[in-house]
Chain A
C-alpha cells in the first residue's frame, strides 16, 4: 500500500452534464471541500509558522505585537535571537551531544535487532514463537517501569555519565538504555519484513554452499534496505527528540546535555529573555525536519508496516 499513489477515484462530477443543476451542485460541493481542506491545513501550520516568524523578530516587537503583524511591511527581521542564544547558552555543544547520543543509539539497536529478527524469521529454536510473543508484549510496557532498577544498577557499578571519562564514554549509559528500549519495535518490524522474503532465496543460497553470514550480509540486508531505512529514520528521530530517557541517564549537566534537555532547562531559566526560546526551538527542529522532509517516503512506509501489516 503506497500513500503516494493517490487512487483518483471516479468522482460524481464526471457523470453529470455541463451546467445541469447536478453539475452545479457537484462543483459547489467540490468548492466547499477545497475551502475546508485548505483552511484546516492553514490552521494546522499556523503554530509552526508563528514560531518561525517570532524567532526572527526583535525583542521589542515580540513583546508589543503579535507575530502576524510582522507579515506586513515594513519588515524588521533580525538574526539577533539566534546569535544570542548560541553565544549565551550551551546550545552549540548540545547540538553536538545530540549527535553523539543519536548516532550510536540508532546503530546499535538496529544492528542487534536485525540479527535477532533473522533468527526469529529463518532459524528454528526452542520457544521461538513464545519469545517473539513476549517481545510483542514488551512493546506496550511503559519505560518508566525500568528507571529505578536500571539507574540504581548503573549508580552501584559506577556507570554514570559523571563518572565515565573521557568525553564520549559518558554517553554509554544512554546508548545502552536506548538499545534496550528501541529493540522490541525494531525486532518486530524487521522480523515481519524478513519473514516475507521468499524462502526459495534461502534454499538456493544453501545449495550454493553460502554460509549463514553470507546469506545475512549478501541477501537479507540488501533486500531489506527499505525496512532498514524507515527504521533508521524512526529510531533517529525518536532519540533526537527524546527528553525523558536523556533526563534520566544523561542528566542536565551542560557539557553532556542534548538539545531537548538544554531547551527544557531554558524554558524554566530564561525568564526575561524568553524570546530566545523561539530561536532555540527552531534550532533543534532543523535536523529532524531535514531528515523528515528528505526521507518522508520511508518514514511513512515504516509507520504503515508497524501498524497495518500484510
Chain B
C-alpha cells in the first residue's frame, strides 16, 4: 500500500466525509425547523411532522417500495422493455425438477427447514445448558463471536475446515482429519459433492448464527420466574419434564420471533454460498441465482422474476410479522 498517497489524498477525504455528512444532516433539520417557525401558528403542526419523517419516507420509498413494484413490472418484460407476459417465469421455472431455478428453490427449502431447525435447537440447548454454569458470560461470548465476522470470512474459515486430500494423504482439513482419524472412514469432498454439499454449507451458516438465537433465547429463559421452576421441583418433576412442560411453553413466543427472523435469513441466503461454491455443484440458492442472471447473463427479466419468486416466499412471513406486531401494539 502507498502510504504517501494515503496520507495526502485519501485520509483527508475520509476526514472531510466524516465531518461533512453529519453537517449536511444536522443542517437539513435545523434549516427546515427555521423555516417552519416562520409559518403561521396554525400551519406549523401540520407541516412539522413531514419535515421529520420526510427524508426517511423518501429513502424507504426510493430504495425499497418503488423498486419492489418496478421489479414486479420488470419481471414481465424482456431486456428491451417489451411486455412478454409470463415468459420470464416460464423460462425460469422450466425443466422441473432439474432446471436452475428449481434447484435453487429446492436448496432454499433445505435452508428454510434445516438452518432454522438446527439454529433453534442449538440456540435453545446452549441457552439452557449455559444457564447452569457460573462462567456463562464467557462461554456465551465465545459462541456469539462468529456473529461479528463477515460471511466472507466465515466462508474462508469453513473452506479450510472442509479441506480435502485424497484418501491416504495427510488430511489437513479439520473435518476430514476427524473423520479419518477417529472414525477411520474415507475423507469426503464436502463442498463439491452434490449429495452433501448443501448440508455442509448450511452447517457452516448454522455455526455462524447460533449465537444470535442463543442470546435471545437465553434472555427469555431468564425471564421465567424462578419460583415457578422451584414449585415444579418441589412437586417432584424431573429436569426434563420441567423443560418440556414449563420452560418450553413459556419460551414459545420468543422461539417464534427468532424462528421467523431465521426464516427470512434462510430465504435471503447469499454470501456463504457465493464464497464457498459460487452456487456450483448443485448448491445454488435464489439470491445467488438472481445475482448471476443480473451480472453474468445480463438477463434482467429473469433476475426480476427470481426476485419476485423470493418475495412470494417471504410474504407469509411478512403477514405473520404484521399480525404479531399489531397484537403486541394492542396489548400496549
* Category for how many chain B residues contact A: 35 or more
Report if B94 contacts A (CB, 8 A): no
Report if B182 contacts A (CB, 8 A): no
Interface residues of B in 158-214 (CB under 8 A from A): 158-161, 170-174, 177, 207, 210, 212
Is B150 within 8 A of A115, CB to CB? Answer: no
A1: B residues at CB distance < 8 A: 219, 222-223
Q: Mark A149-179, 1 if CB is under 8 A from B, else 0.
A: 1101000000000000011100000001101
Is B133 within 8 A of A34, CB to CB? Answer: yes
Is A111 within 8 A of B25, CB to CB? Answer: yes
Number of interface residues of A (CB under 8 A): 127
A109: B residues at CB distance < 8 A: 59
- Beta-carbon nearest neighbor of A61 in chain B: B172
- Beta-carbon nearest neighbor of A104 in chain B: B21
Report if B4 contacts A (CB, 8 A): no
Is A213 within 8 A of B257, CB to CB? Answer: no
Report if B153 contacts A (CB, 8 A): yes
Give A65 to B174 CA distance when docked, in angstroms: 11
Q: Mark B211-238, 1 if CB is under 8 A from A, else 0.
A: 0100110111011001001100100000
B275: A residues at CB distance < 8 A: 243, 264, 267
Is B148 within 8 A of A237, CB to CB? Answer: yes
B219: A residues at CB distance < 8 A: 1, 3, 304, 308
Interface of B, secondary structure class, is helix
A271: B residues at CB distance < 8 A: none
Give A54 to B14 CA distance when docked, in angstroms: 34
Task: Tell me whether A6 and B55 are in contact in the complex, defined as CB-CB below 8 angstroms, given that A44-B207, A148-B303, A264-B152 are known contacts.
Answer: no
Report if B98 contacts A (CB, 8 A): no
Report if B113 contacts A (CB, 8 A): no
Is A243 within 8 A of B152, CB to CB? Answer: yes
Q: Mark A204-246, 1 if CB is under 8 A from B, else 0.
A: 0000000111001000000000000000000001001111100
- Beta-carbon nearest neighbor of A287 in chain B: B148
B294: A residues at CB distance < 8 A: 147-148
Is B59 within 8 A of A141, CB to CB? Answer: no
Report if A197 contacts B (CB, 8 A): no
B48: A residues at CB distance < 8 A: 123, 212
Minimum CB–CB distance from B211 to chain A (whole Å) comes to: 9
Instruction: Name which of A16-24, A74-82, A93-101 contacts chain B.
Output: A93-101
Task: Tell me whether A47 and B174 are in contact in the complex, defined as CB-CB below 8 angstroms, given that A116-B55, A146-B64, A148-B70 are known contacts.
Answer: yes
Is A243 within 8 A of B226, CB to CB? Answer: no
Is A145 within 8 A of B307, CB to CB? Answer: yes
Give A107 to B23 CA distance when docked, in angstroms: 11
For the complex of A and B, 8 pairs with smallest distance between CB atoms:
A180-B63, A92-B1, A149-B70, A241-B150, A116-B56, A292-B148, A146-B67, A125-B49
Q: What would be 17 A-B contacts, judged by CB atoms less than 8 Å apart?
A: A9-B229, A66-B171, A96-B6, A109-B59, A115-B55, A120-B53, A142-B307, A142-B310, A145-B64, A167-B13, A177-B63, A184-B60, A211-B33, A244-B271, A267-B159, A284-B149, A292-B147
Other than the known A63-B172, A180-B64, what 18 A-B pairs have Cβ atoms closer than 8 Å?
A51-B157, A64-B172, A92-B1, A103-B18, A103-B21, A109-B59, A120-B53, A136-B322, A142-B268, A142-B310, A167-B10, A264-B275, A267-B152, A267-B275, A284-B149, A284-B150, A292-B145, A304-B216
List B residues at the A interface (Cβ < 8 Å): 1, 6, 9-10, 13-14, 16-18, 21-22, 25-26, 29-30, 33, 37, 45-46, 48-50, 52-53, 55-57, 59-60, 62-68, 70-71, 74, 126, 129-134, 136-137, 139-153, 155-161, 170-174, 177, 207, 210, 212, 215-216, 218-220, 222-223, 226, 229-230, 233, 254, 257-258, 261, 264, 267-268, 270-271, 274-275, 278, 286-287, 290-291, 294, 300, 303-304, 306-308, 310-311, 314, 317-318, 321-322, 325-326, 328
